[in-house]
Amino acid sequence: MTDNEYLAIRGYTSNLYEHINPALRAGDAGKWSQLTSEAANGLGKLADNGYVYSGDVVRNLHLTDDQVHQLFPVNGVFSDRAFLSTTSDLGGVFPGKVTMRIASKTGVSVSSMSEYPREAEVLFSPSTPFKVLGRTQDPTKGTWDISLEEL
């Protein structure tokens, strides 16, 4: 892995994700295109060198019910144009009324280079596809549980 690839991943795990992910979701990486490319290349190299996390990971989100229905069609496919940050800490790291539970096959453990290693971050490259296995809602709590499997 090059120094720039390492720094791109490290920077992403700090606060740069706040700028990079919205740009990727808008389809305009713009000034973030080089950093995005270096981070993606670095993830590929890490995956080739034993950093793949195979197992369950979670991500908590703040979404409306309409967004849940739109983004997660049962038996459909979900993908995010941005990097997808998850954690191997199945209790979750951040709050959110929507919990994505993902069976990871190619997510990359980036804890060793993360700005916040305690987050136990597992990172997926942009546009990684996931099959929506199911979604359940607890109407009394207003929470959702989404089951996904990486394709």
Point out the catalytic residue in the list 104, 121, 125, 135: 121
pTM of the model: 0.92
Catalytic (active site) residue 111: no
Of the candidates 5, 59, 109, 111, the residue annotated as catalytic is: 59
Q: Where are the domains of the chain?
A: 3-150
| 36 in Cβ contact with 126 (< 8 Å) | yes
121 classed as catalytic:
yes
In angstroms, what CA-CA distances link 44 with 2, 69, 111? Answer: 12, 31, 15
Per-residue pLDDT of the chain (151 residues; tens, 9 = 90+): 999 999 999 999 998 999 999 999 999 988 999 999 999 999 999 999 999 999 999 999 999 999 999 999 999 999 999 999 999 998 766 789 999 999 999 999 999 999 889 999 999 999 999 999 999 999 999 999 999 999 9
85 carries an active-site annotation: yes
- Reference 35, options 69, 71, 8, 7; nearest CA is 8
Q: What CATH number has the domain spanning 3-150?
A: 3.90.176.10
Catalytic: which of 5, 38, 85, 147? Answer: 85
